[in-house]
A and B are shown apart, each in its own frame.
Chain A
Amino acid sequence: MNPESLKDTIMKGIHEGRVQMRPRWHFVLLSSLLFVGVLVVCITLVYAVSLIVYLLHANGEWFAPSFGLRGWFSFLYSLPWMLMVLLALFVLILEILVRQYAFVYKKPLITSVLGIVGIVLVGGFLITLTPLHNRMAHFDHDGMLPPPLNGLYRQPPLGRSPDLYRGMIVAITSGQVVAINREGTTTILIDPRTRLPYGSTFDSGDLVIVIGDYVATGTLHAFGIRTVEPVNDDDVPSMK
């Protein structure tokens, strides 16, 4: 090959305007779009993780593992698996996007994926410490949330474990407590085999979660029972 010919061909193309330099703003726009894309996917992931944690808290399923293996099954049953598959897809999209950056592609894939998962989980848990979801839940109950968020808090995308009950104690008698929630009144039977991971002291007004079997309509034999903290200030199911 004649070394001059390649240079001449290219320079001729440049002189004649057939080969043109893309303006700097083109690349600034592309990197801005990439950055915005990363930010949007990241925010979506953090929000979704915090939503799952919030809803599990609100449903009581978050505390089910404290009752042992049966509690774990109940917890796993209630997880929103479809949403979690969607989240895994979003993690993959985020990995593809951030792999454009040198500080990411220089790391093994496993490191960057674990880094993303770690950041998203920590971010998600931190968000649950803020009043964001309480406010969103209020907006949702008032019908003020736009799609696709409307209804997320009223009809959470969780599997509803038939074993788990959440309500507020209104009366205590020997061997049983009476609790109420939005569905009505339930009598909870407690016997010596009932697991009490956080003690046996209950008071009227305590919010409890119970894992057990219904022995009759409105009567639940407790496999385990424990008190939980209200998710928000007006988290008093009986008063609704």
Chain B
Amino acid sequence: MLAAAHAAASTDFFLVYLANIIMQVQLNTIHKQFGSLVANDEISVLFEPGRIYGLLGENGAGKSTLMKILSGYQRPDRGEILLGGAPQHFASPRQALAAGVGMLYQEPLDVPVFTVLENYLLGRAAGGESPRQAARALEALAQRYGFDIDPHEHTSELSMGERQQLELLRLLAGGAQVLILDEPTTGISAEQKDILFASMRTLAREEGKTLILVSHKLDEVQELCDYAFVLRKGRLVGGLPLPCPNQQLVSLMFDELAPRPARRQLGQHAPALSLQSVQVHTGRLELEPVSLQLQAGQVLGLAGLEGSGQELLLRACAGLLPLSGGSLLLGGESQPDWNYPLARQHGVAYLAAGRLEEGLVAGLTLTEHMALVSHTHGLLVDWPQNRKLAEQHISTYQVVGQPESYIENLSGGNQQRFLFAMLPQNLKLILMEHPTRGLDIRSTDWIWEQLDQRRAQGTAILFVSADLDEIAARSDQIAVFSGGRLLRSLPAAETSADELGHLIGGAL
């Protein structure tokens, strides 16, 4: 197998051909269960070399589990993996890579404090090459796929897309014949996406490698892949050669889909939030002066690559970061000493992306959460009262759980519902980071319904999302950020997700 891997790196046609035959990937009746949840239910698929596959499905359909099994990160309960007809038992990702299967994770699994070269070297067989030689080999490899990488740069200074390129090179240098890419276009620029797709085509067409793209973005899969497998609720529900009508894929991926209700315009011409030349500085990024207006009942979506400054602005509005310049007005009133406790007092709520990291307290029950946020004065907690309150919220917000359940035992969607349940009434402003990241379509729609009800009461909403569809569909006004600058602010009606993508990408 290793010999095959080395041979493929050469351009010798015959050896490449031989390697292709060997690297056919077959998954037979793969079964994996976590507790009572069946993540993979007897899945059998075949991946041929030289082709690019799309693996589609909703959140929680079992895509990631299946790919983690193929790449040696998890072991199946039942079923077998065959490479070129030979059964494999991967005990670790390293073994899988040695056999020729490499996976690129959504969040690159590298060591941020290391240099690029150190990350490249980590886990490579020593083989007597000096660091200097390795650096040269890395640069040569990068050049071949059109990547621009400095081996001596610190990895933490790289963009998401560059870290991905580094991981890809590392896997290729390690002899990967089968490459799995898990949602690789999340958080990278349009330009980097084009480079990535070009390199994927080269790898498949010219070098005969097998590529598997795990994604929920139909457009990307249509653009790049030859064939798509669709998973739903842990089962393989079909495979289609591409391109094909989107509707066919959608009907495989989802059961019946209620049409999304038309958006109501709810701008009330009462100022909710007004930012005047607001500046924010952190050690990493400086946000140049931003001026924005938000009316009561309006939704303002902040678009941009991760780390472009929109998150800083959101946190500054929440009082979690100090303004280093400009002024912030809430409901027309200037707030010179803005901070988070003050923001809460003024009816501003902030929901962070990491629910269990920033928002909920693992180890506390739902009742305890209610007691924690209830503003009754007095020393002692009225437990029966808070339990009743928790019960009410559970039924109103359709949370699957009990008052005595520990919050960390709820699913992500239910945690998000409970966070909404804990929000006070009559808020002036809700600030959200990635409000529906990791949620299925039903929870997503439910969340935005809740937000619409709040808007009807005059609550303004400011949110950051990496999902451009979400930004385009849910916002009244959109602000596009790039490199610490507000690039443009435009009405949502005048743009689309595609156009936003070009805006973000073109800025680079």
**B is a partner of A:** no
Interface residues, chain A, CB within 8 Å of chain B?
none
Interface residues, chain B, CB within 8 Å of chain A?
none
